[in-house]
Amino acid sequence: QVRMVESGGGSVQTGGSLRLSCVASGYTFSTYYMGWFRAAPGKEREGVAVIDTDGRAVYSDSVKGRFTISRDNAKNTLYLQMNDLKPEDTAMYYCAAESWTTPETMLRRATGFPYWGQGTQVTVSS
């Protein structure tokens, strides 16, 4: 049974930092492309960052330079380090896994992947 469990969300002030984690089980984590996506109230889900099986990462323009995605295949864990947070970063953050794609395609699609976590809320106040 596939499980993906996010953690690390919370409430911070503008300029603060958070580190999200996504622990996966039930599939071969190291062979999957992994991504972080977010959904704000009233908005469509959007791609935040994607990392391929070799560790190459791509980011949305809105988070480039502030967020860093990484993975630890030995721990079956995906991370998202979020620095210099802004109120517009407020959203539910989800991790997702896809077996075959390109990082750019996965980031752009933001939907339709086989495995998803349940989400963790990030709230940034001004």
pLDDT (tens digit, 9 = 90+) per residue, 97-120?
999 889 999 999 989 999 999 999
pLDDT (tens digit, 9 = 90+) per residue, 83-100?
999 999 999 999 999 998
CA distances (Å), origin 105, targets 5, 20, 22, 56, 95: 23, 22, 21, 13, 16
CA distances (Å), origin 83, targets 22, 74, 97: 18, 25, 23
Give the C-alpha separation, 126 to 89, whole Å.
11
pLDDT (tens digit, 9 = 90+) per residue, 28-49?
999 999 999 999 989 999 999 9
